[in-house]
Amino acid sequence: MQMNNAELPEQWAEIKEGKVYNYGHLPMVAAYCRRLELVETVNHLTQSQMHVQPGLVVQAMVLDVLSGRNPLYRVESFLENQDIELLLGEDIDAHAFNDTALARSLDALFAAGTGRIITELGRRAAALFALDLSTVSYDTTSTSVWGEYRDSSEDDQAGPFITYGHSKDNQPQLKQFMTELLCVDRGVPIFGRTLDGNSSDKTSNHDMLTRISALLAQHGLGPGAFVYVADSAMVTEQNLKAMAGNRFISRLPATYDACQTAIDQAVTAQAWQELGSLNEVAASKKRPPAEYKAFETQVTLYGVTYRAVVIHSSSHDKRRQKKLDKQISQSLTTINQNLKKVAQQYYCEADAQTAAGQIEKYATSLHRVVPAVTPVAVRKRGRPAKDKPALTETRYQLSWEVLENTQGIARQRELAGCFVLLTNVPDSGTDAFDSAGVLRTYKGQYGVENDFAFLKDPLVVNDLFLKTPARIDALGMILIIALMVHRLMERSMRLYLQQNNQTIAGWDNKPTAKPTAFMLAALFLGVQVMLLKKQRFFLQGGPNSRHLAFLTALGLDATVFLDPGGSFKPIIPRKEGS
């Protein structure tokens, strides 16, 4: 209930008994958790006799993760400064969330099956928010940990195998675990798991492909009703067979000869289709948008023919460009070393011309050698006769110039800026994608990569010091749930602004159509609420017009700060014609 200043208690001394909270954006996070029925879902799937039910622990930890300011091993101290009833729906003492209670809850969550819990919450999110399930993106990442952990994987019931593996964090000296995500609608996770630290991306892709149909069947999707998007680790003979009747888009690895053949064909044909920028993120002067062009061809892998969309990007792969620059330098060095061995003066013009023809063979695809034979008068040996000019004879000087092969280098640079997208999505008919559609869908994979950045952000996760792999698995589930809420909030704001053709005041009050959840965290820090005799009221006038604009975009209103049981209607896509 909101109270005006005129309704404040007559006995001002009583105000000393009140508590003032600076919630930030956490009440909005709590509202989205309530909409997902997070507490009820977790409690239903988890068997526990603890005083504090696991669902409340999960929501408390999700709030802690998204607060971004408190280490996860200090949930108790985090809640001591929070309005627990407003954020969790129950007035529970913060000390009930001590380390022992958290540890027992993590153990109970692992025993219940963390993947099962995430799948159910993903199913609810997809239904409640009408998520677009036509494209699903899959990827994995590694997270480094400190500590010894167990040295073998004999105990299969103890959680993921924490061990050394291919580190995507560039920390090969540390043990790690892997995290896999299956995301829809540009980054909203609907499934995720913690994997062994030495898991292979190729194997993980195959495992996902064997069960993806069952997972998406829970959302009412059958084979062929969605497009599976993954990175190049998906392209193996076993994985391509596992696709069965499903459609996919992936990147053809450069290790396949067919990849270079397709690129050579595209660069030789010079029949590019201009696609423009297809920019997913805001451009800047320092980072202008890439321009894309495409060339369609086909490749055959393991006896099956697929569409191969060769894509050229104006923002060339820096690693490839550096490699090419090194090759150009090495080419020049090699030519000069060979030319040092060549004689430069000849008695016979024919010999000079023969030598000139020989040095032309030192040319490479990156440099050409242009020789020249010039007759020169050379004084004969011996003293000339008195009062007579010195006698001369004609010799032939061989010289050369090493020039860059501008056409060859331009071709190599164009080749270096290309990659190949492999797909079985048709280019005509029902549910067809043209070249731009294939690229745009593949670029949606960046949403998963941004999700991994969130999961490993030190402000969110901090260093992991959990004692058992089972608890790491449960914590991984909590992080994925926090990510799900985080992405749903961003998606709701952006969808509302898009459907209403509006912008909102973002960083530095600059208008934006793509607000972020981090904007909420910074913007709402100034909203203060007093809790007095179980009633809440705003201090200093409450949310301003800018706050209210964000709340509207989220499908909420100011009562989210005052009512522990408040609800809202999710922002969902409008149907065509509505």
At 102, the amino acid letter reads L
pLDDT tens, residue by residue, 29-54 = 999 999 999 999 999 999 878 889 99
Locate the domains of the chain by residue range. 335-411
Pairwise CA distance, residues 41 & 140, whole Å: 26
**Paired tokens of 151:** 């040295």
- Lowest pLDDT segment from 1-15, 261-275, 361-375: 1-15
Closest-CA residue to 479 (of 168, 194, 86):
194
Position 314 confidence tier, pLDDT thresholds 50, 70, 90: confident
Closest-CA residue to 490 (of 471, 516, 470):
516
Closest-CA residue to 142 (of 106, 219, 195, 186):
195
- Lowest pLDDT segment from 1-5, 313-317, 407-411, 498-502: 1-5
pLDDT tens, residue by residue, 388-416 = 777 788 899 999 999 999 988 888 888 88
Position 289 confidence tier, pLDDT thresholds 50, 70, 90: confident
pLDDT at 55: 95
**DSSP string covering 193-223, please?**
EEE-TT--HHHHHHHHHHHHHHHHHTTT--T
